[in-house]
Amino acid sequence: MFYSSKDLKFQLFEHIKVSELCKLPYFQEHSQETFELVLDAADKIAVHQLRPLLTEMDRQEPKLTADGIKVHPGMRKIIQTFGEDGWINATFSFEEGGQQLPNTMHMAAGFIFQAANYSSSVYPFLTTGAANLIRTFGSQELIDKFTPNMYNGKWQGTMALTEPDAGSSLSDLSTTAYPTEKEGVFKIKGQKIYISCGDHDACENIIHLMLARIEGAPAGVKGISLFVVPKINVDTGLPNDVRTEGVYHKMGYKGAPIAHLMMGSEDLCEGYLVGEAHRGLSYMFQMMNEARVGVGMNAGAIATAAYYSSLAYAKERPQGRKIGEKDPSQPQVSIIEHADVKRMLLFQKAITEGSLSLLLYCSKLGDMAHAGKGEAKVNAALLLGLLTPIAKSYPSEMGCLSTSAAVQVLGGAGYTTDFPVEQYYREARIHPIHEGTTGIHGMDLLGRKIVIQEGKAVQLLMAEMIQSIARAKTVKQTDSFASTLEKYMQKAQQVTGHLLQKAGKNPEVYLSDATLYLEFLGILVIAWRWLEQGMDASSQLEISTQDSEFYHGKLMAMEYFFEYELVKMGALEKRLLSEKITTIAMQTEWF
Amino acid sequence: MFYSSKDLKFQLFEHIKVSELCKLPYFQEHSQETFELVLDAADKIAVHQLRPLLTEMDRQEPKLTADGIKVHPGMRKIIQTFGEDGWINATFSFEEGGQQLPNTMHMAAGFIFQAANYSSSVYPFLTTGAANLIRTFGSQELIDKFTPNMYNGKWQGTMALTEPDAGSSLSDLSTTAYPTEKEGVFKIKGQKIYISCGDHDACENIIHLMLARIEGAPAGVKGISLFVVPKINVDTGLPNDVRTEGVYHKMGYKGAPIAHLMMGSEDLCEGYLVGEAHRGLSYMFQMMNEARVGVGMNAGAIATAAYYSSLAYAKERPQGRKIGEKDPSQPQVSIIEHADVKRMLLFQKAITEGSLSLLLYCSKLGDMAHAGKGEAKVNAALLLGLLTPIAKSYPSEMGCLSTSAAVQVLGGAGYTTDFPVEQYYREARIHPIHEGTTGIHGMDLLGRKIVIQEGKAVQLLMAEMIQSIARAKTVKQTDSFASTLEKYMQKAQQVTGHLLQKAGKNPEVYLSDATLYLEFLGILVIAWRWLEQGMDASSQLEISTQDSEFYHGKLMAMEYFFEYELVKMGALEKRLLSEKITTIAMQTEWF
C-alpha cells in the first residue's frame, strides 16, 4: 500500500467536497460517480504499470548515448497509456478533445501516480504543462502543429527555463532568439540546464517550451519571450539542432532524465514564438501556481508512500517490550506499540494528510478561479496566489522530515536498499529546490503575496479561518482546538503587522527572515486544514459507525498537529519579532 | 577545504583547553606542541590518502564474492598507514605499545579523517574499539594473541551485536556459545546482521568482538557474554566457520562494508570468552560512551565537510542582486550576499561548531574519567554519562538538517553528483540510527541518566552552567546571552521537575516524549557551549587583533544560535508540559 484510497476519498468527497464543482457549468458533465471512476482508473495504472518499476527505475539510471538519452524501456508503454487513456489533456475542454475534468481530480490522480513511482509520473505531467502553455497563449497554427501528438503521448513536452548563469534569477537568462524571414520563426542559440525529461527515447519527439530573449530585447524580465523549440522539426522530420550535452546524475528521482541542452551550435535551431514577444515570463507565471501546487503534491505523495511503508513495517516488526515489562521470556511486541514509534507515525500522518488537505483545497481554488464566476472567481485566484508558496514549500520541506521519520521507524533496515524508504528519502529532497527554492517562495509570500491589493489575500484567508473557528467551536471534538487556533491566528496577525512596518524602511531587513515567515504561516494554515478535517471527521462519526476507526485516527492526528507542530509557531514568532539582524550583520569574511 | 584547522585548534587549545590534561601524570609526556604534531599528521593522511577516494568509494560499493567481501583496493594502504603510524592504539598505555594520547586528541584526529572521507575512517576506529575491549577485559593470553596485529592494522576489529530479532532490544539476542573441552573456548552458533567492516579484503583477518549467550544462561541481558571470534583461526590459519551471508546495500556510507554473518553452520566456529561469563553486556556498555561520542563526532564531521563545501560554493556562485537593486544590467552578486543564504550558512556553522564544542568537551571528560583522580574523576564520569545521549544524538539529528541546508545552498547543483553535498546528505542519515537510535537515547537520558544518584549528574551540569553564566555576565559581548541562557536553564529545570513527578505514577507516560526531552536539553547544552565559545572568542579579541574576523564570526554564530535555535526550547517546553497523552492514546487500528 503506497497511499490510502480511503483517505483520498475522504479528503475529496467529505472534506474538500470536490463534487460542489459540478454545479459550475464547465464541470456539469461530472459527478462524484465519474470522479470515483477516475480514481479507480488511476489506481489501476499506478498498481499495474508504475509501481512495479519503482525500484528498477532508480537502479537503472538514464544514460547518455550517441543517439541521445536512453531511459528505462518500460517508460514507452507508460507514456502511451497516459496518452491513450486521455490523462495528458484530461482537464482541457471538450472542444480540444479533453474531458473538462476538474484540476482537483487531475491532481488527485497525480497523487496516486506520484506515490506509486514519482519518476514515472513526471513525464506526462510535464507534457500537460507544456501543452497548456501552447493552447492558452499560442496561435491556432501552433496548437494544431504540436498539441495533438502531445496529448496522445507520442511527444514529450518540457519547460526549459534554467541556464548556467540564471537559476533562481530568471532575469539573467541569455539564450537568444534571432528573427528569420519566416514570421514567428526564430533561430535559437544558447543553452539550458536541469531540463526535466529534456531528452529521452520513450517518445518520438521532445517539444520544449523555452524562454529566450529576442535579439535586442530589453534587459531583465521584460525582455523574455516564450518559444516552442522541438527536438525534431515536425515539418521536415529532420533534427532541429537541439543537442543533448549531458545527463545529470542525481541523488534521487533517478528514473526521470534531467538534461543539459545546447541549441543552435550549427545555427540551425528553429523556435516558434508563442503569443506576443517579451511576454514569455508572464505567460510562464500564469501557469506557475498550478506547477507549484503540483510540486507540493509530488512531495506529499512521496512522503505518503514512505508513511505507509513505515506503518506496515511498524505493525509487523517485533522488537522490545512495553515499558515496565521486564520479563525477557515474554514475547516481543510490534514496534508500533512503542509510544515513540507512534509519535513518528503520527508525525508522518499529520504532515502528509495535512499537506494533502491544503493541496486539494488549493486545487479546488484553481478550478474555481478557472471556471467560477464573479467575485468567487476573483477571490479564489487571490487566495490561491497567497497559498501557493505554502502549498509548494510546506509539503516539500516537511516531506523531507516526514520521509526521514519513515527511515527512522525502520531503523537500520530503513538505511538499506532492501526497503523503499531510503529511495523516498532521496526523492523527497528535490522538492525544496525545484520550481523555486523555499527561499524564493518565502520572498514571494512576504514580499509580494502578503501585500498585493493592500493585503486583500491575507484578509480572505483570515476570514476563511474565522469562519472555520466559529463552526469548530460548536463541535465538541474541535471546540478547544478552535480556541487554540484563534490564538495562533492572532499571533500571526501581530507578526505580520510587525514585519510590514519594516517593509518600507528597509526591504532587506523586512525580507531577511522570509523563509521563517513562510514556515510560520505554513504551520498556521496546516493547523486550520486539520481543524477542518477534525470537523468533517466528527460529522462522519455522528452519522454512522462505519469506518469509525479511520475517523478516530483523524481526530488524533489533529490533536497531534496541535500538540507537537502548532506550538512551533511560538519559537518562530519569537525570532520574527526580534530586532536583531543577525544574518545581515554577518560578514562574508567572518565565516 | 573539508574542515577548518583554525577552528579545530581554537576549540582544542583556546576553548576546551585540552592541554590542561597534560597536568595529569598519565598525559604528562604530552604538550600543546605534540598535540599540534598529531593534528598535522592527521591532516596529511586525510588530504593525501583519504580525501582523494571520497567519491570513488561511494561509487564503487563493496561486493560480495565467493572469497568474501571486496572493498575499494585503496583501503589496504590506508589501513596500513593507520596501523604503522600508531593511530589504532594511540590512546593506549606506553606499556601496551601505545602513546598515552588523550582520547580528546584521538577524537580530534578522527574528526579530520571523518570529514575527509567518512567511510574510510570507520575501519581503524572499529579496530580500536574492539582491541580496547580485549585489552581491558580479556586475559593476557587473548591480549597477546589478538591485539598486536590489530594495532598494526593487519587485522580488522568489529563489534558484533545486532541480530535479526535483536536490534534495539539486545536482551533478545540468541547467538549461542557451547562450552568445549578447552577452557575459555566455545563453539559459536548464530547470526549477526549490520556488522560494520564485518568482512573485507583490505586486512588479513577479521576479529569480531561478539555478544552471545552461553548455553543455559539466564534469559535477558544478564545472560550475555562477550567472545572474540576471528574469521580465521590464528593458531591454525584455517577458516573459523564465520560465513559472510551478504553485504548490505545502503543509501550512503557505501565505502564501508556492512555484513551479514553466519557462525557455526558447519559447527566449527570457535570463540574465546572475554572476561567472565554473563558480563558481556556490561563490558560492552563500559565502552559505549566513547563509541557514542564517536558517532556524534562522525555526524559532526560530515556536516562540517558539507558546510565548507556549501560555503565555498556560496562565495563563488553569482546569482541575483541585492534586494532593492532592480537594474538587470548590474552584475550579479555572489549568493553569500543574500540574507537567506547567510542564514543557511550560519545555521550550519552554529550546528557544526556547537556540536564540535560539546564533543570535545565530552572527550575531555572521558580523559578525566580515565586518568583523573578523586572527585574530579568521579564527577567527570557522571557528567559524561549524562551528556553522552546528547553528544550522540544532537550532532546526528541536527547534522542531517545541517547537510540538508548545504544541499539547499547549492540548489539544483547540490542535488547532482557533481558536488559532494548529496553524498554527505546520504552519509549523515545513518547516525540517528546506529549505536542506539535517537529514541533509545531519549529513554537513556530521561529514564536513566537524569535519575541516577538522585539526579547528581544533572546537578553537576547545572552547576557548570551557572558558573559559565556568572562568568559570561562579566563580559560585554556575552552578558545578555548569559541572562537568556539563565532563563532557559530555569525552564529546563521546571520541565524536568514536572516530568519527574510522572516517573513513579506511569513510566510509559513519563517516557513517551523522551525524544523531545532529549532535543530540549540538547538545545540548552549547545547554547551553553556557544556561550563558552563566545567568551573564549571575546578573550582572544581583547588580547590581539589577529584572526579578529574568525572571532567575530564566532560571536555572530553564538548570536545566531540564541536567536534561531534556542527559542525552539519554548515550543518543546509547551509540549512537554502538556497533559495530553496523544501518542499513547493513539490506537494501532486508527492509523
CATH number of B270's domain? 2.40.110.20
Residues in A touching B398 (Cβ below 8 Å): none
Residue contact B570–A574, C-beta within 8 A: yes
Model confidence over A119-139: pLDDT tens digits?
999 999 999 999 999 999 999
Are residues B550 and A171, on separate chains, in Cβ contact within 8 Å?
A: no
Residue A557, C-alpha cell as written in the block: 492526528
Residues B392 and B441: their CA atoms lie apart, in Å, by 8
Q: Kindly report, residue by residue over B102-138, the tens digit of the pLDDT.
A: 999 999 999 999 999 999 999 999 999 999 999 999 9
Residues B167-195 pLDDT 10s: 778 888 999 999 999 999 999 999 999 99
Say whether A408 and B432 touch across the interface (CB within 8 A). Answer: yes
What is the distance in angstroms between the CA of the first residue and the CA of the last residue of chain A? 47
pLDDT band, residue B230 (cuts 50/70/90): very high
Note whether A251 contacts B438, CB cutoff 8 Å: no
What is the mean pLDDT of the segment spanning B430-455?
96
Residue A335 has a pLDDT of 96
Q: Do B586 and A169 touch (CB under 8 A)?
A: no
Phi, psi of B61 (to 5 degrees): -65, 155
Are A189 and A265 found together in one domain?
Answer: yes
Confidence band of B523 (pLDDT split at 50, 70, 90): very high
Inter-chain touch A433–B411, beta carbons under 8 Å = yes
The count of C-alpha atoms lying within 13 angstroms of the C-alpha of B18, restricted to the half-sphere facing its C-beta, is 31
pLDDT category of residue B329 using cuts at 50, 70 and 90: confident
| Residues A36 and A116 grouped into a single domain | yes
Give CB contacts under 8 A, 24+ apart, made by B220-223.
B220/A326, B220/A328, B220/B171, B221/A328, B221/B170, B221/B171, B221/B281, B222/B278, B222/B281, B223/B278
Domain presence at residue A7: no
Residue B231 near residue B69 (C-beta atoms within 8 A) = no
pLDDT of residue B70: 98
Phi and psi, residue B434, nearest 5°: -80, 160
Q: Please report residues of B whose CB lies closer than 8 A to that of A550.
A: 590
Taking the whole predicted model, whether its pTM rises above 0.95 is answered as yes
CA distance A502 to chain B (A): 14
| Cβ-defined contact of A411 to B437 (cutoff 8 Å) | yes
Chain A residue closest in CA terms to B193: A412
Asked, for residue A416, whether it belongs to a domain, the answer is yes
Smallest CA–CA distance, residue A336 to chain B, in Å, is: 7
pLDDT at A134: 98
Among A416, A433, A507, whose Cβ lies nearest the Cβ of B408? A433
Number of H helices, E strands in chain A: 20, 10
For A169, nearest residue in chain B (alpha carbons): B320
- The ipTM is 0.97
Q: CB neighbours of B359 closer than 8 A, spacing ≥ 6? A: B107, B111, B293, B296, B297, B300, B391, B395
C-alpha A34 chain-centroid distance: 24
In a domain, A225, yes or no: yes
Span between the terminal Cα atoms of chain B, in Å? 47
B162·A194 Cβ contact <8 A: no
| Per-residue buried b or exposed e for B510-535, using 16+ beta carbons within 10 Å of the residue's own CB | bbbbbbbbbbbbbbbbbbbbbbbbbb
Split into its structural domains, chain A has a count of 4
Which cell numbers hold the place of B408? 539547499
B551-588 pLDDT per residue, tens: 999 999 999 999 999 999 999 999 999 999 999 999 99
The DSSP line for B562-580 is IIIITTHHHHHHHHHH---
CB spacing of A346 vs B549 below 8 angstroms = no
Q: Does A257 map to a domain?
A: yes
Q: Roughly what angle, to the nearest 10 degrees, separates helices A339-371 and A548-560?
A: 100
Using an 8 Å CB-CB cutoff, list chain A residues near B322: 508
**Is A251 within 8 Å of B417 when comparing Cβ atoms?**
yes
DSSP letter, residue B250: B
Q: Which amino acid is at B449?
A: K
> Could you give the 3-state DSSP secondary structure of residue A211?
strand
CB contacts < 8 A (A, B): 270
Give the closest-approach CA distance of A29 to chain B in angstroms.
36
DSSP A456-500: HHHHHHHHHHHHHHHHHTTSTTTHHHHHHHHHHHHHHHHHHHHHH
Q: What is the pLDDT of residue B180?
A: 97
CATH number at residue B339: 1.20.140.10
Q: Are B232 and B239 in contact (CB under 8 A)?
A: yes
CB contact under 8 A, B339 and A508: yes
In this prediction, residue B167 carries a pLDDT of: 77
B-chain CB neighbours of A322 within 8 Å are 508
Residues of A in contact with B169 (CB under 8 A): 319-321, 332
Candidate from B169, B324, B582 with C-beta closest to A559: B582
Identify the residue whose cell numbers are 576471528. B230
- Residue from the list A324, A349, A411 with its beta carbon closest to the beta carbon of B507: A324
Nearest beta carbon to residue A591 from set B251, B345, B568: B345
Q: What's chain B's average pLDDT?
A: 96
In a domain, B43, yes or no: yes
Whole-number pLDDT of residue B327: 86
Last residue of a domain, one of B122, B151, B180: B151
**How many Å is the maximal CA-CA distance in chain A?**
88
Q: Do B51 and B173 fall into the same domain?
A: no
- All three cell numbers of A224, joined, read 523574455
Compute the C-alpha angle A60/A61/A67, nearest 5°.
110
- For A562, the closest chain B residue by CA position comes to B575
Residue B589 counted as domain residue: no
Residues A285 and A418 in one domain: yes
Q: How far apart are CA A383 and CA A457, in angstroms?
A: 5
Q: Do A466 and A400 share a structural domain?
A: no
Residue A568 Cα distances to A33, A391, A453, A561, B535, angstroms: 41, 18, 30, 10, 30
Nearest to B323 among A329, A404, A507 (CB): A507
pLDDT at B452: 92
- Best of B10, B352, B415 to disrupt the A interface (most A CBs within 10 Å) is B415
- In a domain? residue B208: yes
Q: What is the CATH number of the domain that holds A75?
A: 1.10.540.10
Q: Answer yes or no: do A286 and A421 share one domain.
A: yes
DSSP-assigned letters across all residues of B183-217: TTEEEEEEEEEEEET-S-SSSSEEEEEEEEEETTP
Shortest Cα distance, chain B CAs vs residue A225, angstroms: 16
**Cβ neighbours of B446 in A, within 8 Å:** none
Domain stops at, among B118, B151, B184: B151
d(CA A338, CA B254): 31
At residue A193, the pLDDT reads: 96
User: Which structural domain, as residue segments, surrounds residue A469?
Assistant: 438-578
Residues of chain A short of pLDDT 50, as ranges, are none
Taken as a whole, chain B contains a residue count of 591
User: Could you tell me how far CA B483 lies from the centroid of its own chain?
Assistant: 31
Q: CB-based contacts of A512: which residues, under 8 Å, 6+ apart? A: A581, A583, A584, B339, B340, B343
**Lowest mean pLDDT across A93-97, B2-6, B217-221, B240-244:** B217-221
Residue A570 near residue B571, CB atoms below 8 Å = yes
Interface probe with A: pick from B416, B582, B589, most Cβ of A within 10 Å: B582
Question: For B171, which of A169, A328, A550 is closest by C-beta distance?
Answer: A328
B409 and B498 assigned to the same domain: yes
Answer with the one of B151, B171, B193 that is the final residue of a domain. Answer: B151
Whole-angstrom distance, CA of residue A117 vs CA of residue A112: 9
Q: For residues A352 and B380, give the distance between their C-alpha atoms in angstroms, rounded to a whole number.
A: 44
Judge: A588–B336 Cβ closer than 8 Å, yes or no: yes
Q: Are residues A261 and A189 in the same domain?
A: yes
Instruction: Determine, for residues A575 and B564 on separate chains, whether the beta-carbon distance falls below 8 Å.
Output: yes
Within this chain, do residues B108 and B173 fall inside the same structural domain, yes or no?
A: no
> Residue B565 carries which side chain, given as an amino acid letter?
E
**Same-domain status, B493 and B420:** yes
Residues B212 and B355 in one domain: no
The x, y and z cell numbers of residue A220, run together, are: 531583465
Q: Do B590 and A563 touch (CB under 8 A)?
A: no
In-domain check, residue B323: no
User: Taking CB atoms and an 8 Å limit, are A343 and B171 in contact across chains?
Assistant: no
CB contact under 8 A, B249 and A442: no
Is B574 close to A567, i.e. CB distance below 8 A?
yes
pLDDT at B546 over 80: yes
Bridge pairing between strands B176-179 and B205-214: parallel
> Percentage of residues in chain B with pLDDT exceeding 70?
100
Pick from A324, A412, A580: CB nearest B563: A580
Residue A217: strand, helix, or coil:
coil
- Which residues lie closer than 8 Å to A441 by C-beta, 6 or more apart? A292, A389, A390, A392, A393, A518
> Using CB atoms, which residue from B332, B341, B553 is nearest to A172?
B332
Q: String of b and e for A35-52 (b: at least 16 CB within 10 Å)?
A: beebbeebbebbeebbbe
pLDDT at B161 exceeding the cut of 90: yes
Are A379 and A448 within one domain?
A: no
pLDDT reported for residue B328: 83
